Amino acid sequence: MKEYCLEFDDRALREWDALDGSVRKKFEKKLEKLI
């Protein structure tokens, strides 16, 4: 079970990282419009 948990955590972290990156890009675009 530990191996499965590690794989799941790693996959979840990668998905969160991708989500965080897309959110950051949208935020930067909004900032550029304000400036």
pLDDT digits (tens, 9 = 90+) for 8-33: 677 877 887 888 888 888 888 888 88
30, two tokens: 């909004």
Q: Calculate the CA 32 to chain-centre distance.
A: 21
pTM of the model: 0.38
| pLDDT for the residue 11 | 80
| pLDDT for the residue 5 | 58
Domain boundaries, the chain: 1-34
| pLDDT for the residue 3 | 62
DSSP, collapsed to helix, strand or coil, labels residue 1 as coil
Task: Count CB atoms within 10 A of the CB of residue 31.
Answer: 9
Tell me which of 6 and 1 has the higher pLDDT. 6
